[in-house]
């Protein structure tokens, strides 16, 4: 059987990198998309060039994503799953003292980058009857006073549900992974008592490995402390 291929955005560190490791361990090829060429190259060296492909690019640029999808198909033949994981937060979270330019930058990644990723890979997923996985958040499941970041993740959850309805018409599946606080470079200081990136990676792989009869539409993952 042809080895399956997973395309990951935000793949150079944190959740994206750990998911690449988990997928490679499970026998998948991994196509790694992120802005940091050096980090991607290091991850490819770790996972092996036969199984991993570095695809430097900006998730807010449709042309970069379209090129990356073509390169992935040329290298591995098909794309069986896409993990739209790239995202960012805000230095100043609320409205009153927030920076509108920072809001725009975050929305470009968290919303438009997500849409561009899905648009660029949609045809490939249709061909393989593939699986779309989106990084949501616990912040997208509850109201947090003044949280603009949380609102961007509400979009992810709503869009993920809409995509699940559309994709099942042609045999595809869509899953939103909604973690609480994860110990990643997303935060300025370490959070060792919270979720680790590998916890989220395991959730992604659980969704991808579900039997064809089962559509895991959301995994809500919280730290125990």
| Cα distance between residue 195 and residue 221, in whole Å | 8
Question: With the C-alpha atoms ordered 116, 119, 124, 130, is the resulting torsion angle positive or negative?
Answer: positive
Residue 213: CA count within 13 A, CB half-sphere: 0
| Cα distance between residue 79 and residue 160, in whole Å | 19
Long-range contacts for 211-216 (Cβ within 8 Å, ≥24 apart)? 215/164, 215/168, 215/173, 215/174, 215/175, 216/173, 216/175
**Structure token digits, residue 173:** 């599946």
Residue 168: CA count within 13 A, CB half-sphere: 13
Question: Quick check: is 149 catalytic?
Answer: yes
Q: Which of 33, 76, 149, 159 is an active site residue?
A: 149
**Catalytic residue positions, numbered:** 149
């Amino acid at each position: 059987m042809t080895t399956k291929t997973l395309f990951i955005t935000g793949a150079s560190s944190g959740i994206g990198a750990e998911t690449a490791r988990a997928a490679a361990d499970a026998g998948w090829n991994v196509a790694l998309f992120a802005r940091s060429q050096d980090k991607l190259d290091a991850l490819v060296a770790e996972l092996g060039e036969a199984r991993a492909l570095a695809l430097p690019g900006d998730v807010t640029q449709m042309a970069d994503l379209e090129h990356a999808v073509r390169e992935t198909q040329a290298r591995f033949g098909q794309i069986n799953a896409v993990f739209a994981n790239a995202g960012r937060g805000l230095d100043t979270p609320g409205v009153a003292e927030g920076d509108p330019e920072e809001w725009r930058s975050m929305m470009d990644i968290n919303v438009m980058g997500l849409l561009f990723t899905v648009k660029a890979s949609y045809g490939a997923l249709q061909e393989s009857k593939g699986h779309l996985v989106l990084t949501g958040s616990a912040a997208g499941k509850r109201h947090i006073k003044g949280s603009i970041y949380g609102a961007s993740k509400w979009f992810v959850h709503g869009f993920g549900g809409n995509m699940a309805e559309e994709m099942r018409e042609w045999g595809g599946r869509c899953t939103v992974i909604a973690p609480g606080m994860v110990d990643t470079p997303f935060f300025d200081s370490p959070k060792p008592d919270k979720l680790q990136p590998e916890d989220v990676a395991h959730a992604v792989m659980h969704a991808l490995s579900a039997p064809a009869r089962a559509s895991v539409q959301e995994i809500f993952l919280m730290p125990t402390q």
